[in-house]
Structure 1
């Protein structure tokens, strides 16, 4: 780390003192920057820190600036970050953050400092608007500690859940939850027993604080309370699957595209899901060049459906798309059974667990991602009926079937998971982004 030193006489007495002498008496009207991460009093592991948060003002925002300083034993600033590569100077210094959207009255910001030594730091963020040079700063004090965990193998696997569906349901208002319909929380319990975690896409305007909503008369969606509990109990990571699950290829302005994608990040942050920036699940896999251009400013990666393992080189190439296997149920794989030719949406056939296990066996500098939807066990309903149905009772995966492509048998789910590589690192998208050096913006 490079540090420019001066005599003790010119050392500042702390960020607050500097702010008192440099912030104008009349701060920008209504302007404010918040710091969502790192939170005050938190500990960050590694040699880098990402300062991120939100901004708002009544006038057009020109910049959000962040001052990051080292603290001594008396919690006074002794040096300020002057370059994101880790250069420090002893005089006061602030750096311009990346805004999303750029030059608006509200949005989010981020800035990364790298090559930092362990110790205590303070970050201060303030807004520069068209009518005033500086708002009152918001501060956060945190500790940076050395990462003592063993180096990863650089092979990653991610287990995901599309739309974070809570469970299979039936009836016009999803009043019936059939026996054998697993909840998302039960699936996370299965993973936790194997030392694994998962991430799930969240559609913000389909998520109620306390009431599980019914979708398409066959799917229950989790509440914010459910999602928070699963994060705290099972390490569940929420990523954005859109504000409204809208088709981004039909949007005509960047404001529309941002509202559907980047605008969800500060909302998820405010609910404690501060790793949502790792991936955007394009709603219904719909994207175009304009959507990619907007999304990559707020998210490290975008999800695209595919059938193969990702390479590091591919996902670090614009537009940073991560091939994700969308796991399908449906017809069985035994030609001698009636389920082999039964009617199923899009004529889908149940995915072999062994095929999914191959995706979960990446090599160095590879990343395997599989996405499930709703998991069931046992049997329910009648083949060919108008209601949901399945038969997962066979010990042979080839004989198992479900009436809808997004319903998959639990025993097949576990066979696929148990076939994973023991040496690959189970990670969410944000963890891979940090490991491979992909920062949004």
Structure 2
């Protein structure tokens, strides 16, 4: 009798097997499934940079892209976990709206201190996520139906709370979190391409690059140790150099404008935390196991219902956080907030490499997918494209991303 697979065995590993030579090197080929999204992102940025005569990469515009899409990126982090587990959440846009309404009632109408109000709002988001998670995980109703009902219920609650009016303004601290920038602490650099850049912001960029190099080197070393395939050293170094240049360019441009947006600091913390969760924590591996092979996950002892329940709780908390950020950015809560946010979050996850069947996806990929949507919105706005053309391009990009995922799976299956 064969032993049941462990959680680590069940976790989806997108790395191809080691080559017959045993050294883990696969030649100079590029894994399009892993790298395609990043190549596409670079090409889209280059295209719009040309079309806008360089305005796309202006310091102020880079800052605008990050600030204007921060709430979608927060939602994309939660959505990628839901999709990896093989589910979907259509209610996040309405939950953004009701969370903003709750925060406004607490801070503005009832004059509750903003830190307390934020905690209460996040707890309310967790309760909503628990409500939906219960029906999906323990009662067995498909997530599509539960969250579709939630989309209608929470929008109705928003209208009941706000009526036809907006509530504002929000406290300065909340507005700063949504729209504000870090201060310049050690003065500015006055040399060459770094002219006007805050010293602390540049140091943050350098530390970020160092962290990326360390993480990627340790990941490569672990793959070699266990006989898994890795790219040749020149390709690996080339990817690190490109990533370092991109990070430093963005950081310097932001530092030259008004320094780092606070929402970028928040996003960096979330991306780091959830990346560690999905790659290092047992719970993260269980999420991949549930989405990759539900029956095997059950047989291996994974508490499937509990995992599904908690990913919806997490989605509720992140939706509430996005609602606070969005309301703070507008400086008011209004009944129409969050319209179609669920579509943007889902699109970000799929464009970022999530598989339709579940079991595949990365937090960084979802962030990249969200940024692609943001760059398309921003770039087409800069060239004066009408809204229908923007929707046309975004729909085509989403369809192409999913079609590419299906094609790569078929190709992989045919090669076995």
Q: Which has the larger radius of gyration?
A: 1
What TM bracket, shorter-length normalisation?
Answer: under 0.3
Q: Provide TM-score, normalisation by structure 1.
A: 0.23
